[in-house]
C-alpha cells in the first residue's frame, strides 16, 4: 500500500501519573506539510522518557523531543536509516555534553523511540525501553526491543522476559545521554496495510497495562479517545510513572486495487522460504551445498556420458573452494562480532499477542465499571450520568445483537467517563484499587 501524506489519523497525550510530582516524559509529532516533504521525509512520531531526577529527566527528554525531529529533517536527504541514526547520535552527544558540563545534571538520560511513516512503509528508531507496537489483524506486535537488563538476560538465556519475574524490569542498559556514544536500533521499512495501527508509549503505560489491553483499546477507539482511555486505565492501576501514548491509525481503504490486495497478504511462499534460509544459513555454507550438488551432477553426467561434465566439475571445484574460504573468513568475523547487525527491511516482531475482544475481557471491564460506579456514588462526585447511561445502553444492545466489538467500544466509553472522575479526585498516595484479573500474559 502506498500512503498519501494526508491519510493518517493520529493523537498524542502525556500525563504525570498518580505518584509523580513532575512529568519527565516528552513527545513530538512532526508532520510533512505537503506531498513532496512526505515523500522525502515522512511523518515522525517520538516518545522520550527522561531519567535522573525530575529536573534532569525533564531536560533530557525535552531535548530529545526537540532535537531528534530537527536532526532527522536535516539529514532526511541521506535516507531514513541514516537520518534516524545521525539524529539519535547527535542528540545523544548533545545530552551527554550537558551532563559533562553541568554537575547538577549528573545522571542525565532519556529513552528515545521514533516511528517514521513514509510512502514505502514505516521505520523505527529506538534506544531504551519505550515501545512501538503495531496492531494488525487482531494481533498486537512489539516492534522494539526493550534495552533493559531483564530483556537482555532473557535474550541471552533464550526465554521470554515473563519467565524471569525476579529481575527488575526498570533497569535500563541503553539510553541517550549517559555515554558519549550510543548504539541505535534502526529497523524498516515495514510495509503498511490498510487498517494498521501503531502505538508508541513510555513504560508508564506498558508496565501497568498489558499489551493485549493496549491492542484492544487502540483497535476499537479513535486515536484521541484511545490515548485518553489508555492513560486513564494506567492511572486506575496506580499510575506509578509518567504516562505517554501516541496512536497512529492507517484508515481502512475498501477501494484497494487487486494488485495491492495481493501485496496485502504478504510476501510469496518462495520469498518467505528464501528469506528464512538466508536469515539462518551462512552464505558460505550455501555456496558449499551448491558445490556439492554440482559435484553430484558431474558424477551423474559422467555415468550417463553427457557432454559438458568437465566444465561442471571445474565449476563445482571453484564453488567448494569459495565456500571453504568463506567459512574460514566468517568464523574469524564471528569472534570479533558475536552479535551480527540486523538486516534492514527484515521484520522483527519481539512480542506478539492476540488483542481480539473476548467475552472475558468485556466481563472484566463491566465489573470494573460496577466497582467505579459504587466508588463514585458513595462519595457523591459529579459525573455525566446521561452520557454514561447512553453508552451503557449501547453496550447492552450491541451485546444482545452479538456485536462484541461494538459492545466493547461502548463499554470503554462508559468506563472512561467514570475513570476520568476517579483519577481527577485521587491523591498521590490513596485512591481507587479495583481487583484486577490477570490476562493471558504478564508484561515484562
* Whether the predicted pLDDT of 32 surpasses 50: yes
Please state the rounded mean pLDDT for residues 19-46.
93
More confident residue, 272 or 111: 111
CA angle 112, 114, 115 (to 5 degrees): 165
Q: Are 246 and 206 in contact (CB under 8 A)?
A: no
Alpha carbon 431 to its chain's center: 31
What was the pLDDT predicted at 257?
Answer: 36
Share of the chain above pLDDT 90, in %: 62
What was the pLDDT predicted at 444?
Answer: 42
* Whether the predicted pLDDT of 118 surpasses 80: yes
Closest CA to 127 of 189, 82, 64, 73: 64
Per-residue confidence at 142, pLDDT binned at 50, 70, 90? very high
Task: Name the CA radius of gyration of the chain, rounded.
Answer: 26
What was the pLDDT predicted at 324?
Answer: 84
pLDDT tens, position by position, 218-249: 999 999 999 999 999 999 999 999 999 999 99
H or E stretch including 355?
Answer: none
What is the rounded distance in angstroms from the CA atom of residue 373 to the CA atom of residue 292?
73
Lowest mean pLDDT among 113-122, 229-238, 322-331: 322-331
What was the pLDDT predicted at 2?
Answer: 58
Three-state SS sequence of 1-22:
CCCCCCCCEEEEEEECCCCCCC
More confident residue, 288 or 273: 288
More confident residue, 38 or 275: 38
What is the rounded distance in angstroms from the CA atom of residue 254 to the CA atom of residue 271?
27
Lowest mean pLDDT among 175-179, 236-240, 326-330: 326-330
Please state the rounded mean pLDDT for residues 373-385.
95
- Extract the C-alpha cell encoding 438: 490477570
More confident residue, 443 or 183: 183
pTM to 2 decimal places: 0.77
What was the pLDDT predicted at 187?
Answer: 94
Lowest mean pLDDT among 69-73, 159-163, 425-429: 425-429
Per-residue confidence at 276, pLDDT binned at 50, 70, 90? low
Per-residue confidence at 277, pLDDT binned at 50, 70, 90? low
Alpha carbon 226 to its chain's center: 16
Burial grade of 395 (CB within 10 A; 0-12, 13-18, 19 or more): buried
* Whether the predicted pLDDT of 3 surpasses 50: yes
What is the rounded distance in angstroms from the CA atom of residue 413 to the CA atom of residue 407?
10
More confident residue, 234 or 324: 234
**Mean of per-residue pLDDT scores for the chain:** 86
What was the pLDDT predicted at 442?
Answer: 43
Amino acid at each position: 500500500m502506498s500512503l498519501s501524506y494526508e491519510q493518517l489519523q493520529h493523537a498524542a497525550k502525556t500525563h504525570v501519573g498518580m505518584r509523580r510530582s513532575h512529568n519527565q516524559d516528552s513527545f513530538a509529532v512532526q508532520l510533512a506539510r505537503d506531498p513532496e516533504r512526505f515523500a522525502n521525509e515522512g511523518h515522525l512520531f517520538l516518545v522520550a522518557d527522561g531519567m535522573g531526577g525530575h529536573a534532569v529527566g525533564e531536560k533530557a527528554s525535552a531535548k530529545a523531543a526537540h532535537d531528534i525531529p530537527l536532526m532527522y529533517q536535516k539529514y532526511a536527504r541521506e535516507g531514513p536509516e541514516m537520518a534516524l541514526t545521525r539524529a539519535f547520535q547527535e542528540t545523544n552527544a548533545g545530552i551527554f555534553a550537558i551532563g559533562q558540563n553541568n554537575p547538577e545534571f549528573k545522571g542525565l538520560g532519556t529513552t528515545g523511540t521514533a516511528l517514521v511513516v513514509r510512502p514505502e512503509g514505516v521505520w523505527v528508531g529506538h534506544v531504551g525501553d519505550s515501545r512501538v507496537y503495531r496492531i494488525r489483524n487482531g494481533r498486537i506486535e512489539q516492534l522494539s526491543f526493550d534495552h533493559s537488563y531483564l530483556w537482555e538476560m532473557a535474550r541471552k538465556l533464550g526465554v521470554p522476559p515473563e519467565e524471569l519475574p525476579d529481575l527488575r524490569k526498570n533497569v535500563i542498559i541503553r539510553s541517550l545521554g549517559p555515554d558519549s556514544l550510543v548504539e541505535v536500533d534502526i529497523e524498516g521499512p515495514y510495509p503498511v496495510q490498510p487498517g494498521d495501527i501503531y502505538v508508541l508509549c513510555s513504560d508508564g503505560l506498558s508496565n501497568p497495562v498489558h499489551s493485549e489491553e493496549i491492542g484492544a483499546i487502540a483497535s476499537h477507539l479513535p486515536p484521541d479517545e484511545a490515548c485518553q482511555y489508555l492513560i486513564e486505565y494506567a492511572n486506575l492501576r496506580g499510575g506509578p510513572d509518567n504516562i505517554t501514548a501516541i496512536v497512529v491509525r492507517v484508515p481502512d481503504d475498501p477501494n484497494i486495487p487487486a494488485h495491492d490486495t495481493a501485496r496485502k497478504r504478504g510476501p510469496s511462499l518462495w520469498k518467505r522460504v528464501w528469506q528464512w534460509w538466508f536469515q539462518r544459513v551462512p552464505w558460505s555454507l550455501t555456496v558449499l551445498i551448491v558445490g556439492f550438488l554440482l559435484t553430484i551432477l558431474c558424477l551423474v553426467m559422467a555415468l550417463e556420458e553427457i557432454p559438458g561434465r568437465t566444465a561442471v566439475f571445474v565449476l563445482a571445484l571453484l564453488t567448494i573452494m569459495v565456500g571453504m574460504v568463506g567459512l574460514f573468513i566468517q568464523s574469524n568475523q564471528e569472534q570479533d562480532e558475536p552479535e551480527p547487525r540486523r538486516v534492514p527491511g527484515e521484520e522483527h516482531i519481539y512480542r506478539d499477542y492476540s488483542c481480539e475482544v473476548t467475552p472475558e475481557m468485556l466481563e472484566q471491564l463491566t465489573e470494573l465499571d460496577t466497582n467505579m460506579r459504587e466508588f463514585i456514588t458513595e462519595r457523591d462526585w459529579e459525573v455525566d450520568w446521561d452520557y454514561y447511561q447512553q453508552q451503557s445502553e449501547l453496550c447492552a444492545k450491541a451485546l444482545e445483537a452479538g456485536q462484541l466489538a461494538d459492545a466493547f467500544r461502548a463499554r470503554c466509553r462508559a468506563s472512561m467517563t467514570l475513570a476520568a472522575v476517579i483519577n481527577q479526585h485521587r491523591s498521590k498516595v490513596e485512591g481507587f484499587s479495583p481487583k484486577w484479573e490477570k490476562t493471558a500474559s504478564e508484561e515484562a
